[in-house]
Amino acid sequence: MKTEIERCGSTDRIDFLPRALIYIERAQSSKLKSPAVLRAKITKSPDQGGQRVRNSLKNYGLGLVAVAVAVLLRWVLDPLMGDTLPLVTLFGAVAAAVWVGGYRVAIPVALIGYGACHYLFIAPRGTFDITDVTNVVGLIAYLFTCSLIIVFGEIARVGKTRVTQQREVFRVTLRSIGDAVLTTDTEGRITYINEVAESLTGWSHKDALGRPLERVFQILNEVTRKPVENPATRALRDGVVVGLANHTVLIKKDGNECPIDDSAAPIRDEQGYVSGCVLIFRDVSAQRLIERDKANQLLTARLLASIVETSNDAIISKSLDGIIQSWNAGAERVFGFTAEEAVGRHISLVIPPERLAEEDQIIAKLRAGQRVEHFETERVRSDGQRIMVSLTISPIKDAAGNVTGASKIVRDVTARRRTERERQNFVTVVENSTDFIGMCDLQGLPFFINRAGLEMIGLDDLEEARNTPIQEFFFPEDQGMIMNEFFPAILANGHGEVEVRFRHFKTGEPRWMAYKVLTLTNAANEPVGFATVSQDVTERKQLADDLRRLAADLAETDRRKNEFLATLAHELRNPLAPMSNMLEVVKQAGDDAEVLKQAHDTIERQLGQMVRLVDDLLDLNRITYDRLELRRSEVELSSVVQQAVEVARPLIDAAGHDLIIDLPDEPVYLNADRARLAQVFGNLLNNSSKYTRPNGRISLSAKRVDDEVVLTVKDNGAGIPQDKLDRIFDMFMQVDLTAERSQGGLGIGLTLVKRLVEMHAGSIEARSAGEGEGSEFIVRLPVITKPSGAAQTGPAAEPSPQRRILIVDDNRDAADSLAMLMEITGNTTYVAHDGIEAIEEIEKHRPEVVLLDIGLPGLTGHEVCRRVRQQPWGKNIVMIALTGWGQEDDRRKSEEAGFNGHLVKPVDYDKLLELLSSLTNGERVHK
């Protein structure tokens, strides 16, 4: 069978060869064997020499066989031919020898054949005689003919060898190249299929040959999935080379697909007519993958580029020496420099001077191939503004892995930092708030409670809070209301408030809270939890309770005050009746000394009672306004007790009580106001006397206990009911108003006593076994161990010298009665009733002593004193202020005005005498 390759010797070979060579080159690039190698494979096999010798011997053998056959054939034909044409059969042998072995075999065959035929068939037979002319001519003709046969035979033989060689080259080439090759005849039937085409189509050489091309080579458009015109069909139809088609897939015999590139070219015969077609195709799966890969890479690169351009972050690349290489739009926004301004400049463009060292550290890390991640620092904008940024810097490496630069992603975190700071501030506020701030989910599980909140309910930390449902914050009796009424109402209204108690988890104590709750909602405005900012109102509640109590107390005090006023009126009136009675008695009595004495005693007792009442009232006023002042000095206890007993003596004696005084043997010294302390014990003794039936027993005992002296005033009198004991020191407190009223008193004595004892840093307590069981008042006072000097033991009664005294008071009775008193004690007195008159009287009489009221019409006592002191004759006059005001401030004012002394009305006669005697040397004493 003649193959398409054999036809390539003519014009179609001209078409096909260049294309074939292209594929040979492809095969070469595909690392297949080169044509030279292929040819070498064909022509230079390893046993080439031996083969050739064997072939030559074989050829010569065949030549000899041909000669023998030719001679034998002539010999057989000899009877018929005789001497004619003796060499005729040799021409065939020569032609055969030249075809098989070439001229090298043909020439010996021609010569040997001639020799044999000449001897056997040329007359004279049996000899090699060529002397006969006919035979010579015959020999020449024979040689000529043989030469022609040998020449043409050799030419034909060389041509055939070449074709065979060429054919082998193409056969090997087509088998070796990576491309699949198919050839068809003009009918489009497969005439050749190489191994690659076999494997790509799935059709074996055997099955494919003779089949229509469309059966074996089915192709589709890869994208449209529609059949594609077979390029071979077009090449056959139009006689043109059909180029590579894109996106073609070959459907294999087993139905699998394979992307291919294909092309087809017509094969033409000697006359230029299309005699077939060659179709060349190859599997481009790998190429497609590479292309897809490249396309993906391109896409990725574009994507990255667009990300870089649209990124809000600044993305910068720089060389290792810090020169900016690229600068995206984000960088322009963050730093304020345009790309033109920044690219080519050093990165220090945006680094604050004091942070330049940071860049060196960053570069050092990059050189070591390390990344710098989320490095927060400060950078500077083109307008000089500082911004906080977070840097992520990665090294850029070349193909060899050397670090050549860096890519920087810079995020402006100024706003984030600010937000963080604001958030932190908010957290600080929440954390430092004294309110309870908390949040919980809809199930009532807390997820946040501030510190104050945790403390309020006694939870240690948030973790503990997270495991404590808020229901447990409340007392069991409140839980139902909170969970079933309050929270559902919050969900309905969005907020709500209730005053409820929180339970302290550790102590169990209640805390009243103004519990304000609101719902937390999500973006869709659906409730997701609850939040509370609640205040501890325990104190407020306490205050309200206190206020209520206070109001009740005030009402009680008011009631007592009214009672007090009634009592006061009664108590003031009480002495008046006996006094006016006795005055009448004095008028009527004439010279009856006994009656006069009795009247005098009664008046003195009743007056003393009234003075005590008024004194107590004044002290009460001072206590109320906290104006009570102590005039302390070192005093000896027994002298104080003595003074107190003197005060109480008249009452005690009148009631016939038995008074027992028991003091320590050693003197006890106190830093005290003698008069006030005497007032304390005088008051206690008076009370004992008042509230004990006549002929009772009263004792006053004192003993040292450590640094204190404990004084006990005890009686066997009325006693005090248990329920009144703790309020016995309250103002206006009297145990039994009706029964005791006759005893005289305003219910303020013990209040004063307690206050005075406390002012001396002491304490007082009342004890009684109950009504009728007697009472006991225990006073504790601190003592001083070592007196600095001799303690005052009380006023020494000295005989008073006779003086000229001016008494100034706008109350004429007061002035005149005092003048009478002074006259009785042997003094000469003058009286004035206002300031001007006072000055005139002083100037006129030049008295030694002036007892001067302060609140005077015209000029005040202070003014009078000042004017007198300005006169040369006024400097040595003893001026004593007589006033109802006895505060320290009042004493200071009178001293400033120039007074030598200050006495409080009503004037105690003994005190006045004491003062006058102490002023013999003109010294100033303010009492």
* Cα distance between residue 916 and residue 829, in whole Å: 14
Question: Tokens 């009665």 appear where?
Answer: 817
User: Which listed residue (749, 861, 874, 886) binds ligand ADP by CB under 6 A?
Assistant: 749
Task: Kindly state the smallest distance separating residue 620's Cβ from ligand ADP, in Å.
Answer: 10
Compute the least distance from the CB of residue 735 to ligand ADP, in Å.
3
- Contact, 281 vs 250, CB < 8 A? yes
CB of 685 to ligand ADP, least distance (A): 9
Q: Does 266 bind ligand ADP (CB under 6 A)?
A: no
| Residue closest to ligand ADP (Cβ) | 745
Residue 747 found at the interface with ligand ADP (CB under 6 A): yes
- In the complex, least distance from residue 762 CB atom to ligand ADP, rounded to whole angstroms: 18
Binding test (CB under 6 A) with ligand ADP, winner from 735, 757, 842, 868: 735
CA separation for the pair 279, 258 (Å, rounded): 16
Cα separation, 661 vs 702, whole angstroms: 8
Using CB under 6 A as the binding rule, whether residue 717 contacts ligand ADP is answered as yes
Which lies closer to ligand ADP via its Cβ, residue 714 or residue 926? 714
Give whichever of 450 and 609 is closer to ligand ADP, judged by the CB atom: 609
- Should residue 746 be labelled a site residue for ligand ADP when binding is judged by CB under 6 A? yes
- Report if residue 619 touches ligand ADP, rule: CB under 6 A: no
Using rule CB under 6 A, residue 709 touches ligand ADP: no
Taking alpha carbons only, the member of 450, 392, 386, 383 closest to residue 418 is 386
Per CB under 6 A, the list member of 734, 827, 829, 883 interacting with ligand ADP is 734
- In angstroms, give the least distance from the CB of 718 to ligand ADP: 4
Read off the tokens for 449. 């409670």
Among 183, 263, 468, 775, binds ligand ADP (CB under 6 A): 775
For ligand ADP, the closer CB: 281 or 564: 564
By beta-carbon proximity to ligand ADP, the closer residue of 330 and 749 is: 749
Cβ atoms of 879 and 907 within 8 Å: the answer is no
Nearer to ligand ADP, 616 or 848 (CB): 616
End-to-end CA separation in angstroms for the chain: 164
As beta bridge partners, residue 278 has: 183, 265
Span interacting with ligand ADP, options 32-40, 107-115, 528-536, 746-754, rule CB under 6 A: 746-754
CB 278 within 8 A of CB 357: no
Torsion angle, CA of 61/62/63/69, rounded to 10 degrees? 110
Q: Of 750, 757, 822, 856, which one interacts with ligand ADP (CB under 6 A)?
A: 750
- Among all chains, which residue has been given the structure tokens 């006779």? 802
Alpha carbons 534 and 544: distance in angstroms, whole number = 19
The interface region with ligand ADP, picked from 427-435, 671-679, 710-718, 854-862 by CB under 6 A, is: 710-718
Contact between 109 and 93 (Cβ < 8 Å)? yes
Nearer to ligand ADP, 749 or 898 (CB): 749
CA distance 860 to 854: 6
The region that residue 895 occupies, defined by phi over 0 for left and psi between -120 and 50 for alpha, beta otherwise, is alpha
Based on CB atoms, which residue is closest to ligand ADP, 98 or 728? Answer: 728
The residue (of 619 and 636) whose beta carbon lies closer to ligand ADP is 619
Q: Which is nearer to ligand ADP, 275 or 734 (CB)?
A: 734
Between 63 and 719, whose beta carbon lies closer to ligand ADP?
Answer: 719
- The answer to whether residue 176 forms part of the interface with ligand ADP (CB under 6 A) is no
Residues with Cβ within 8 Å of 915's Cβ and at least 6 positions away in sequence, in order, are: 880, 901, 903, 925, 927
| 493-531 CB burial, b ≥16 within 10 A, e <16 | eeebebebbbbbbeeeebbbbbbbbbbeeeeeeeeebbe
In whole angstroms, the minimum distance from the beta carbon of 431 to ligand ADP comes to 55
280, 620, 678, 728: which one binds ligand ADP (CB under 6 A): 728
Which 659-698 residues touch ligand ADP, going by CB under 6 A?
A: 687-688, 691
Task: Report the nearest approach of ligand ADP to the CB of residue 641 (Å).
Answer: 17
748 binds ligand ADP, rule: CB under 6 A? yes
Q: Which two tokens stand for residue 105?
A: 């075999």
User: What letter would DSSP give residue 474?
Assistant: B
DSSP-derived 3-state class of residue 70: helix
Give min distance, CB of 691 to ligand ADP, in A.
Answer: 3
Residue closer to ligand ADP (CB basis): 485 or 553: 553
The reply on whether position 745 binds ligand ADP by CB under 6 A is yes
Torsions phi, psi of 82, nearest 5?
A: 65, -130
Q: Which span sits near ligand ADP by CB under 6 A: 181-189, 460-468, 714-722, 895-903?
A: 714-722
Report the residue number, 153 or 762, with the smaller CB distance to ligand ADP.
Answer: 762
In the complex, minimum distance from the CB of residue 537 to ligand ADP, in angstroms, rounded to a whole number: 40
Selected from 675, 733, 831, 859, the binder of ligand ADP by CB under 6 A is 733
Q: Specify whether the CB–CB gap between 723 and 594 falls below 8 A.
A: no
- Tell me: does residue 718 bind ligand ADP (CB under 6 A): yes
Q: How far is the CB of 676 from ligand ADP (least distance, A)?
A: 15
**Residue 467: other Cβ atoms inside 10 A:** 10
The candidate with the shortest Cα–Cα distance to 638, out of 711, 572, 566, is 711
Cβ(252)–Cβ(259) below 8 Å: no
The H or E element that residue 307 is part of is: helix 285-310
Interacting residues toward ligand ADP by CB under 6 A: 687-688, 691, 715, 717-720, 728, 733-735, 740, 745-751, 775
